[in-house]
Amino acid sequence: MDLDTIISVLAATLRLTTPLLLACLAGLYSERSGIFDIGLEGKMLAAAFAAAAMAAVTGNMWAGLLVGILVSIGMSMIHAVASISLKGNQIISGVAINFLAAGLTTLLGLTWFHQGGRTPALAEGGRFLGLDLPFAFELKSVPVLGPIYDGLISGHNLFVYLAFLAVPLTAWVLYRTRFGLRLRAVGENPKAVDTAGISVVKLRYQALLITGLLCGVAGAYFSIAQGSGFGNNMTGGRGYIALAALIFAKWRPVPAMFACLLFGFLDAVQIRLQGVDLPLVGQVPVQAIQALPYVLTVVLLAGFIGKAVGPKAGGVPYTKEN
């Protein structure tokens, strides 16, 4: 393992962590307000499709991103109406969102683009490309720090930086603002919040709005930044991994980032380890390497994080007493 290899693995880690982190923070807002959200996957998938479709038709990446976010917020609002206003079961509503997205994206993709559910590959301008940070090229020759700056920190697309900036922002909102205090309170004891004269329903709607926004950005990342165009089920269950990371992090923003980085790192290592001779063990079968992230998920969730207790009011629709 030389420095270049390490940098390349870590850079892949950042790329693979980005959608997990955005989805994980999305789930954090929702669950901290007392609404379980198993539909992160569906919202991301729908956003990925909408963003790719819009970017393919208009050739404009910003239009794609905007439409992706709007569609994701729309799905989030369906979840909100079902679980806040209509007091339905939040798990069932979330599952419905996932199925709706999986079916609709394929159906619309087939009808609109006739490419087996794929959207056309995006042209230049339809996709977010890597950004070179200032002086990346000039500093490249500086030993150790140069390659780290050039290979690891610079050269990612906008979404990667946004995702990591969203972590301190979320921490600040959650622990330092009035909205954050109320959000945490409404997830623990909605009655107290209500007694204080603050609308539980409004707060929860606001939380789900943010969830929709972040899922939309995560979805768009798949199809118009990391990839070029939408493919069937391209989110590949990462919404669930994000949910696992959220529980692993006990619903806190900074630990959530580390949990997502761990999963992203395992994914990156999985890709790099293929066909590599490891010391002592030799070449490991592809299947074993690909199972690694999931094995670690089970091990970590089962044994190493202690008791994870979610927000107390999670999953319970709030009913005002008369």
**Site residues, other proteins (CB under 8 A):** 4-5, 8, 12, 15-16, 106, 114-118, 121, 129-130, 222, 226-229, 231-234, 236, 268, 271-272, 274-275, 286-287, 290
| The total number of residues written for the chain in this structure | 322
Among the listed residues 188, 169, 281, 221, the one whose alpha carbon sits nearest the alpha carbon of residue 18: 221
Nearest approach, Cβ of 226 to other proteins (angstroms)? 6
Nearer to other proteins, 116 or 125 (CB): 116
Beta carbon nearer to other proteins, 5 or 319? 5
> CB 110 → other proteins: shortest distance, Å?
8
What sign does the CA torsion over 113, 76, 253, 173 have? positive
- Closer Cβ to other proteins, 17 or 90, answer by number: 17
Round to whole Å and give the CA distance between 241 and 294: 9
Q: Is 115 exposed, middle or buried (0-12, 13-18, 19+ CB in 10 A)?
A: middle
Rg over CA atoms, the chain: 20
The pair of structure tokens assigned to 103 is 């079916």
Q: Cβ of residue 228: shortest distance to other proteins, in angstroms?
A: 5
Identify the CA nearest to 309 among candidates 265, 262, 247: 247
The residue among 109 and 216 lying less far from other proteins, judged by its C-beta, is 109
Task: Tell me the C-alpha distance between 113 and 56, whole Å.
Answer: 10
Alpha-carbon span 211 to 213, nearest angstrom: 5
* DSSP summary character for residue 138: G
**Whole-angstrom Cα distance, residue 239 to residue 221?**
13
Minimum Å gap between C-beta 5 and other proteins is 7
Cβ 289 to other proteins shortest distance, Å: 10
Residue 31 or 267: which CB sits closer to other proteins? 267
Between 92 and 107, CB nearer to other proteins? 107
Q: Residue 52 CB, nearest distance to other proteins (Å)?
A: 12
